[in-house]
Each structure stands twice: as C-alpha cells, then as structure tokens.
Structure 1
Amino acid sequence: MELSKLKGGYDAVFSLGDLCLASIQLKKHNLRPFSGVLDWMASPTLSTVNELLENRFIGFMDYDNLRVIGYADSNICVSDDAYNLVSNHDFSREKNTLEFLGSYLEVMEKYERRIQRFLHQMQTAKRILFVRTEGTLEDAASLQNTLSEMVKHDFNVLLINHTPVKWMVEKHCPLEKVCMMEFPNEDIWEGNGELWKEVLSDIYLTKSK
C-alpha cells in the first residue's frame, strides 16, 4: 500500500506499540481521541501483539503471568511474560511494591474499559487506522489477516521501522492494507518530528473535520 492511499479521514486511530512513541505522535497531531490498550506499554514483538489481538485480549495482564522487573522512576516496572509486554506507567510506587501489586484490580479496570472500547470500535467504526513501530513484513501480513477478521468495515496500517537511513523512506509493500515506512534510528524520540508530521499530514479524524 502506498502512503498516498493512507491519507484521508478515519473514525478511530489506534497505536499498536512497540513503545509510547506512536501514541505520543498521534496525540501531538490530534489523532488520539481516546486511550488505546497498548499506548503506554512496551510491546517489542509484533508477533505476540498479533496473538493478543487474535485472542481478543483474553489473558492480557493475568496476574499469574506478571513478573515484577524493578523500579521505573516513580512506578514499578512489570512484565506480562505471556504476551511479552512491559508496563512502566501503571503501577505507582505509592500503591505498589516490588513484592505486592496493590493497585492491580484498579489497573485492570482501566484496561478493561480500553479493551471494550477497542473491540467496540472494531465493529462500529467505518474506517480505522492502526499505527505500529517496528515489525517485519511477515508479521505485518499476519496483522493484516488478524485485523481483517476483527474489523467489520475498512482499516489501514501504518508500519514504521527505524533503520540506518538518513531520511524517510517509503518501502514497497505488497500488502493491500499496510503502508511500510523507514525512519532514521539515531534519535527516534526527538529527531524525527518532521517526518511524523509529513506522514500524518492529511490524515484526520472524521468527527473533527
């Protein structure tokens, strides 16, 4: 899919990881009207994100699968080993310790709301954009197949990989619903702002247009 075909209006836009970067950029460009499930989590492998979506989030952050990694500033860093996810922002040190996650039920109530909102949009939104950083063509193909089963209407995927390029590169992608780009990997947090702006230009939320 070519970048030009990605442009236009969407009823919903969701980040699918792999870090907070995508959700930060979506918010900066007014494309994040509500929180997604993976906005503030690390999800380094797209294959396990595909598995999470295939399972409709069943088993997500189950207590028996959690492993406390250590401190992350004012929070406790927690891994969901079943889905290879890491939470750095959910479990504050005020309510949790390395030995006991006291706010677990509270955190899961928040995620249950986000999951139900996500699944609702899959059935009701006329056009959805999913944004993901880091993923292979093979995993992108699996993602397209999974989303084709979940999304009732239309959707597209923007997949951005960070590689040793000097500027933005649009990759040829044989997948009908996936646009693949490459961004420089030297400073992914601050150095590619203009590239995100260019890619996300002429993409807008239909309800705000």
Structure 2
Amino acid sequence: MHVRLGLGDLCLASIQLKKHNLRPYSGVLDWMASIDLSQVNELLENRFIGFLEYDNLRVIGYADDFICLSDDGYNLVSNHDFDGEKNTLNYLGGYAEVMEKYERRIQRFLSEMENAKRILFVRTEGTLEDAAVLQDVLSRIVKHDFSILLINHTYVPGIVEKSWPLDKVCSIEFPNIDKWEGNHDLWKEVLSGIRLRK
C-alpha cells in the first residue's frame, strides 16, 4: 500500500507514521493543528485554494522559537513554520518562503491523488458525519483506491473497532490517557501490517 501522510488533527498521526517508516516526506497538514475535520474536508474540496491566505492569518503569539498563527479561513493553526528569526508578531518576513514550501507539498499531495495506486489516509479525531463527508470528498479527488484510518481517543481500555457504515473508513478508538506517549504499542499493532511501496 502506498501510504500518504496524515490528515491531522495534530502532529500525532504524522509522528507515528514516521516512527513506523510509513511517512517518506512531510505532508500539508502534518505539522499543523486542524482540529475541525469538517474544515479539512472543505480544504480538500477546494484543492487547498485559500490555504494560509495572508488576509486570513491571525497572529496568536509565540510557540517556543516560532510565531504561532491561525488560518481563520480553515480554522488551522501553524506552530512550526514561522521562525522567530525571520518573523515577528507584527511582521511575517518569512511568509513567501513558507508558502513556497507548502506549494511544493500541495502539488505533491495532488499528484499523489492522481497517480498513487493505493493510498492510506490517517486522521486522528473526527465524527461519523465528518468521516462520511471526507470519504465522499476523497472519492472525487483520488483517482485510484484509497482507505481512511480514523482514530478517536476516548475512554476505552485498549483498541476498540467501530462498525461505521462507511466502505472506505476504518474507525477505531484508542485510550485518551496520555495519547501522545501512552499508545505506542497500539499504534504499532495497528500499523504493523502496512508497508510503503514506491
């Protein structure tokens, strides 16, 4: 299976894909917060038009050595793009450079949608309703076969598979306690049978 990068909601999916050698490069949403899956659906539906558009950006403050920004158009938050050396709370001197990086990632993503024979999308957090829309949106974007692994963190003791009526979506639940460091074995179990093919 050709594994595409995660679809948010934070960096967790991307980190786990990289840890299991299933992420060959950074994707568009890998290092952003995209809490609302419905907004991600809209972003994909629009083929990323308006993504990080300057007029939609709002400075939140500092995040370590970076300027934290909100893309209010799609309800996204960038924590890792605008470094404090080139950018300030009042001036985004590195904006053009950041957008060049994301334009490359967007074009690579759209190329994968056209050319990859099988794609696995991995997303953390999302409702059944939003997952149904995601499946519908991707069915119109992806030329070949795809699957969606959606992991919600809830009050469960281990892996719980949900029987959602969606052909392309595998929905499972992980424990919500320390989801960043406490579920490594569960991620390993879920991703162990997946291989990346070039």
Which residue is 2:49 aligned to? 58
* 1:144 aligned residue: 135
Structure 1 residue 129: Cα displacement: 0.4
1:107 deviation in Å? 0.1
Q: Percent identity?
A: 75
1:102 correspondence with 2:64: no
How many pairs are equivalent? 198
SS in 2 for 1:117: helix
Indicate whether 1:29 and 2:20 are aligned: yes
The 2-side partners of 1:71 and 1:34 are apart by 26
Task: Write out per-residue CA displacement over residues 11-30 of structure 1, whole angstroms, 9 at most, x where no aligned residue.
Answer: 23220000000000000000
CA deviation string 1:58-92 (max 9, x = no partner)? 00000000000000001000000000000000000
Deviations along 1:155-174, whole A, 9 cap, x unmatched? 00000000011111111121
1:170 and 2:169 matched = no
**Is residue 92 of structure 1 aligned with residue 80 of structure 2?**
no
What is the identity, as a one-letter code, of the residue corresponding to 1:60?
A: F
SS state of the match for residue 52, structure 2?
A: coil
Counterpart amino acid of residue 57 in structure 2: L
Give the counterpart letter for 1:89 in structure 2.
H
Q: Which of 166, 175, 178 is residue 187 of structure 1 equivalent to?
A: 178
Q: For structure 2, which runs of at least 5 residues remain unmatched after alignment? A: none
Partners in 2 of 1:135 and 1:92 — Cα distance?
30
* 1:74 to 2:61 alignment: no
Write out per-residue CA displacement over residues 126-170 of structure 1, whole angstroms, 9 at most, x where no aligned residue. 000000000000000000000000000000000000001111111
Secondary structure of 2:195's aligned partner: strand
CA–CA distance in structure 1, aligned partners of residues 90 and 29 of structure 2: 25
- The residue matched to 2:177 in structure 1 has which SS? coil
- Find the counterpart in structure 2 of residue 3 from structure 1: none
Aligned letter for 1:184?
Answer: P
TM-score between the two structures when normalised by the length of structure 1: 0.94
Provide the aligned C-alpha RMSD in A.
Answer: 0.6
Q: Does the Cα contact within 8 Å between 1:156 and 1:177 map onto a contact in 2?
A: yes
Normalised TM-score (structure 2):
0.99
Counterpart residue number, 1:203:
194
Residues 117-128 of structure 1: matches in 2 within 5 Å?
117-128=108-119
Task: Tell me how far apart the structure 1 counterparts of residues 163 and 182 of structure 2 sit (CA, whole Å).
Answer: 24
1:202 is displaced (CA, Å) by: 0.7
